Structure 1
Amino acid sequence: MGNEAGDLDSLTSAIAWAFYLAHENMDDTSLKGKKGKGKKGKHHNPKERPVVPLLQTEEDAIDLRPENKLALREYGNMRRGHADILTIDELPLPPSEISPYLDGIYLVDHNRLRSDWGEAGAKKVKGVLDHHNDLELYPDAKPRVIEPAGSCASLVAHEILQLWDKDKEDQVYNEQECVDKTALKQKQHPTDIPTELADLLLAVIALDTDDFHRGTGRDLYASKAIWRWSSFCGSNDDRDTVMDRNDDRDTVMDRLDKELGTAKKDLRHLNVRDLLRRDWKGDIIPAPNASAPALHLGIASIPVSMRNQIARVGNHTPAAWFEAEKAWTKEIYADVSLALTSYREGGIGDELIPSDSDGDNDDDDDDDDDSKKGAKHREIALVVQDGRRLTRPMANSLFEAIKSEIEAAPELNVTTWTGGDLGGERRMIWDQWFTKASRKVVRPIVERAVEGWYGQPVYRQLLGEA
């Protein structure tokens, strides 16, 4: 199960790990002969219950990320309409109702299960593979691998191929013959990676590391290990791609990064609702006591400036943007919503050169130094709605608490945005001058404000209960 942002890393990691779990007790005749037959896998016995990769995003939101559409079609060889992928809206029951029937849940690309899976779901977490900050949950999970990497898919590859202690052993990666793709169709070993999956893994590693300009050694070694199973290694007559089959690994990874990066930046066709949905992370905060309300808090990361977004709505005013935002949050019953923009001058967030953008996928610390790009900019939009779970006085006081916390945060360094009348109460936009602070920095600040408003450390309590 990947996170709810629906990015290519979550998607690919979920597919790869589920595929491995579904095959890990396969007879290893090539290594063990008949002794390996029927042996239960280390993590899961697929004969007990099937394994399914679940995307915690709606089916129609997958293609809001153009890089997803391109990668799944060109490299994953997926059927049109995402018929090969299970999404959250296709479950027969809500998460909290279906979780008691599950044998287990494995988390990839996040390390805390959303609250809508309920207590039963939290008890079913069997394993975690993630590259975000460790929230120290699920201490008995196996595997439990939470460490920095450019791509979670790199950690998944390490676990599948058991590379953890081999990153310095060049013989594991170099000068290995390409796998016979015809023989690969007759899968003989659980660590045999299908060609399409190997291609997807290489694609997401190239994209998330910006062709290894970001990330860690885990990413580089994972790509080296996966290479021999990919269609880029040797010839593949089954299908054609834009790559030359004689290209070396470095050339292919560079081309994958450029191709997917270009697709990722082309968001000109998306309206405000789609931009909000494209990279939204939200959850319900249960009421800490009988006198306090529960809250649905969510944060969208959008690589498009407020000015450019406003140009995409009705009468091109900030008030019209907030009405579009209100319509979206009403659909999902959100009480507190933030939109974090990240763009470069002259990029997609600046209508001068819409084909040259620099997006923020929440995991991008913006540590690249590209002098050819314009200056980096960030903005924060905040809305607190009443009438859902909050009374008007509650909404007013919560808005002021979050507003004060954001304005006082030195790690953000915000000033009031001056782009026009916002057209309503409990609405705010700031320019954020410390441009390295992405959602992973903003969210703890907002959570701190919510805890102050509640008068108790609700997030620490939730983490302790999970």
Structure 2
Amino acid sequence: MRTLRLLLSALLASVTGASRAPFQQVLDATSGKDTPMRGGDDIGVGHFSEWSRATKKQFFVDWQAGRQSEWVFVMGNEAGDLDSMASALTWAYHLEHSTQNTSNPTKAIALLQTQTDALDLRPENKLALKNSKMTSGHDDLLTMDELPEDPETLALKLRGIVLVDHASPLRKWETAKIISIFDHHVDKGTAPDASPRIFEKVASCTSLVARQMFDEFYKLPEEYHLPHELLELILSAISIDSGGLKDATETDLHAAKRVFERSQWADRDLHEQMEAVDEWLSDAKKDLDDLSVRDLLRRDWKGDLVDTPSPRTPTVSLGFASIPYSLDEQIEKTGFGELFHWFAVHAAWTASINTDIDICLNKYKVKTKDGKKKKIREIVLTVRDDVRIDKVQADNLFKAVTEALEGEKSLGLERWHRAGELGGRQMVWTHESGAGRKVIRPIVEEAVRKWDM
């Protein structure tokens, strides 16, 4: 696999004396010196992993004792990309360490809003965490499936939450007090009294978190320890989001410089190192050929409840998956290699998460007659009738969303070449507009908000 090739490349670089292998620390994980954990996992080494594991343990101890009100959850979005994860871990670490010698210390923990077994569906995350010497199997990270209490209930008991790489909380966290927000998307007006409350168009949200961390860090009466493993995780997130700084804003660049000069890479050239890290992570990110259709569906999925004016169904569950394969390629990955099996796998997945409407946004490239590559996108729409809405409502909602998408002329939607084989409340379109989730999601959400039946 590509990840194995990356490890071998790093080994070769170390043997030949190359000084710029960006993730040479990855080799530590193959030394066999770590202590085995349950399930064959290896305990992470270094201050950052030790802190993360100790923090997770303390949260469970305090939960058992009924002390949830002492804790702040720092959470990113539910897609669980590297930017979201690095932002949450960075700010949780800073919150705790910057207040540890004060009269009001903060207990903070990063909550990754995904399942533990879904973390490795993003190979770039796995590689970055391995470089940061975290525990294999992710026993030192807190994920959604490890919460000992329902989020709706826990939200009321917490001291508060911090949103990173996320403009507003998911419905299940909306009753929690929002202490701070860091986001590089559109400001939705959530929690106007939060502090700090930072919205800025940058390549990486981690840049905003790192900037604020250092602004506060240098004002402290005494500096706390910044482990290089955390610093290099921050740089990894900034690198992959900014194309190795080629697409960086001034904020991204300034944040990267401040982090870089304290990292173990400080004796190297900033731009060369960040380009190398981006290349490694981007190569790993593409290593998805072994993932099943179900894994592809849940790898980059975002969803939440959406309000409707319908007195019968005041909320509808809406989800979006982003997949870097065409539907034809995904069909080949099913056990039978048939269209019906893809929709069967898809139905089982959406049933497991109680979703009413699911949108799969596929993207891929095809070669044109002149040998160039052209980007193609697909939209796969399905509506269920077994969660919150009945068959008549589902038919009507499917019609409303279909008309909204086809009515957006800027998308230039064309029905898929096998659209005639689709079942009820299933539709697939192709387009070349370049519109992804940030464009498609508001169109669908608006249609749902207007739906009244």
> By how many angstroms is 1:342 displaced?
1.5
Counterparts in 2 of 1:273-422, with a 5 A limit? 273-286=294-307, 288=309, 290-345=311-366, 374-419=373-418, 421-422=420-421
Look up the SS of the partner of 1:57 in the other structure: coil
Match of 2:231 among 189, 193, 198: 198
- For 2:387 and 2:337, the matched residues in 1 are separated by 28
> By how many angstroms is 1:199 displaced?
0.4
The residue that corresponds to 1:131 in the other structure is 184
> By how many angstroms is 1:26 displaced?
4.6
Matched residue type, 1:394? Q
Look up the SS of the partner of 2:99 in the other structure: coil
> By how many angstroms is 1:414 displaced?
0.5
The residue that corresponds to 1:25 in the other structure is 99
Name stretches of at least 5 consecutive residues in structure 1 with no aligned partner: 28-37, 167-186, 235-246, 351-370, 456-466
User: CA-to-partner distance for each residue in 1:344-403, whole Å, 9 max, x for gaps?
Assistant: 226xxx9xxxxxxxxxxxxxxxxxxxx997211110000001021111010000000000
Match of 2:166 among 110, 114, 127: 110
The residue that corresponds to 1:6 in the other structure is 80
Structure 2 length normalisation: TM-score? Answer: 0.79
Match of 1:62 among 110, 116, 119: 119
Look up the SS of the partner of 1:270 in the other structure: coil
- Return closer, same or farther for 1:289/1:380 CA change in 2, 3 Å cut-off: closer
User: CA-to-partner distance for each residue in 1:394-425, whole Å, 9 max, x for gaps?
Assistant: 00000000001101112311000013654420
Match of 2:261 among 205, 218, 228: 228
Bigger helix share: 2
Alignment identity in percent?
42
* Contact 1:335/1:389, CA 8 A, preserved across alignment: yes
User: CA-to-partner distance for each residue in 1:209-254, whole Å, 9 max, x for gaps?
Assistant: 11123242111111111012211124xxxxxxxxxxxx31111101
Match of 2:108 among 28, 51, 54: 51
* Contact 2:308/2:452, CA 8 A, preserved across alignment: no
Look up the SS of the partner of 1:24 in the other structure: helix
* Contact 1:26/1:188, CA 8 A, preserved across alignment: no
Match of 1:78 among 120, 130, 134: 134
> By how many angstroms is 1:188 displaced?
5.0
Look up the SS of the partner of 1:386 in the other structure: coil
Counterparts in 2 of 1:169-184, with a 5 A limit? none
* Contact 1:383/1:428, CA 8 A, preserved across alignment: yes
* Contact 1:319/1:421, CA 8 A, preserved across alignment: no
Look up the SS of the partner of 2:125 in the other structure: helix
Matched residue type, 2:429? W
The residue that corresponds to 1:31 in the other structure is none
- For 2:180 and 2:372, the matched residues in 1 are separated by 40
Look up the SS of the partner of 1:133 in the other structure: coil
The residue that corresponds to 1:359 in the other structure is none
Shift >6 Å, 4+ stretches? none
Name stretches of at least 5 consecutive residues in structure 2 with no aligned partner: 1-74
Structure 1 length normalisation: TM-score? Answer: 0.77
> By how many angstroms is 1:321 displaced?
1.0
* Contact 2:306/2:445, CA 8 A, preserved across alignment: no
* Contact 1:319/1:422, CA 8 A, preserved across alignment: no
Matched residue type, 1:326? A
- For 1:424 and 1:215, the matched residues in 2 are separated by 45
Look up the SS of the partner of 1:379 in the other structure: strand
> By how many angstroms is 1:451 displaced?
2.1
> By how many angstroms is 1:445 displaced?
0.5
Counterparts in 2 of 1:137-286, with a 5 A limit? 137-162=190-215, 189-190=223-224, 192-234=225-267, 247-286=268-307
Look up the SS of the partner of 1:51 in the other structure: strand
Aligned-residue RMSD, C-alpha:
2.3
- Return closer, same or farther for 1:374/1:158 CA change in 2, 3 Å cut-off: same
- For 1:453 and 1:215, the matched residues in 2 are separated by 40
- For 1:115 and 1:288, the matched residues in 2 are separated by 17
* Contact 1:317/1:420, CA 8 A, preserved across alignment: no
Aligned residues between the structures? 376
Look up the SS of the partner of 1:214 in the other structure: coil
- For 1:148 and 1:416, the matched residues in 2 are separated by 34
